[in-house]
Amino acid sequence: MSLAEYYLPSYIEKYEKEKPECECHFCQTPEKNLPLVTRYWRDEVRRSANIECSSICQRVLFDPEAFVLQVSTVPSDTPDLLSKQDKLLNQLAINIAIHPAMNMELRLFGMGILVSKSLGFYDSDIDESDCNMAEIGDQIIDMAESGSLQEQFLALPFIELFQLEALRNLGHATLDLDVDPLSGMAMALKLNELATMSEARLSEMLVELNQFWLDGATPFFDANPQVLQNYLIHRLYHDVFPASAGKHRSEVLLQLISDYFNLRMLCSLWMACGETLEQESVVAIVSGYSRWKIASNTENREDDGDRLLLQGLSLLVR
């Protein structure tokens, strides 16, 4: 039996001590879902939880110390091994996510560069390539600190086609938000409108929603800077991004960026319904969207890696 590093985030420890009675849509299913998750590998054990649960989502997003890790060592007899390459790329992505010189868009753009550069290391000898990948991670951090990363990001083209496609696809979402029935109905109607709008009206709606984000959402998230960062850290840590699980790494990146785009649009739609963005509504949107995403079980895409990268990065440009 070998030894494994055991990682326990602070929000999990607090949740287990408090043992809350959660009445969200995730926990109150007939199956009585349990939000806590443990990921086992031969040399690593990660405690985590599903943000489909509103109680977990609130702790993940709004606790500034949610991802303070307690690290210990435990015995492990699990044969599965987290590859050295996946582990390294995951740590490099987390380094980007926690760096203070980047906002959410720059972090995701930096991860796009990381994924793009890592594609050349598929099936390569990790002992020969890990130093090169680590250097790439350091270079991205250096670019952020010097301002050159932002310059490259600002040079990205705005491709409306991809954003309109994503917005229309979002219109087909059926969300079970933990909000009052009238607010939930208003959101459902707004989403249905997205699915049936003309291309010209959808283009106008995209502009309007981006303005709602700028005027209403940006001040909220600026006042609560840990929310988007913690969402991103959770995704990286929980999913071991960009570990592919049979998918192309570019597809994994596209899914992450698409989720961020969709959450931005949902927050903007909430405000377009006349609602105010508050802690409870953000938790309802993020947890409800996460539940829908799991239930929808999106199929793998067949596009090539370069197109997937382009499509993902284009969703960051406003």
pLDDT value for 296? 83
Q: Tell whether the torsion through CA atoms of 87, 89, 90 and 95 is positive or negative.
A: positive
pLDDT one-digit tens code per residue, 96-120: 999 999 999 999 999 999 999 988 7
pLDDT value for 132? 84
pLDDT one-digit tens code per residue, 23-59: 888 988 766 678 999 999 999 999 999 999 999 999 9
Q: How many CA atoms lie within 13 A of 92 on its CB side?
A: 28
Query: In this structure, what token pair is assigned to residue 96?
Result: 């980007």
Output b/e per residue, 230-251; b: 16+ Cβ within 10 A.
bbbbbbbbbbbbbbeeebbbbb
Q: How many CA atoms lie within 13 A of 133 on its CB side?
A: 27
pLDDT value for 301? 55
Q: Is the per-residue pLDDT at 157 higher than 70? A: yes
pTM for the complete prediction?
A: 0.94
Grade residue 303 by pLDDT with cuts at 50, 70 and 90: low
Grade residue 298 by pLDDT with cuts at 50, 70 and 90: low
Grade residue 210 by pLDDT with cuts at 50, 70 and 90: very high
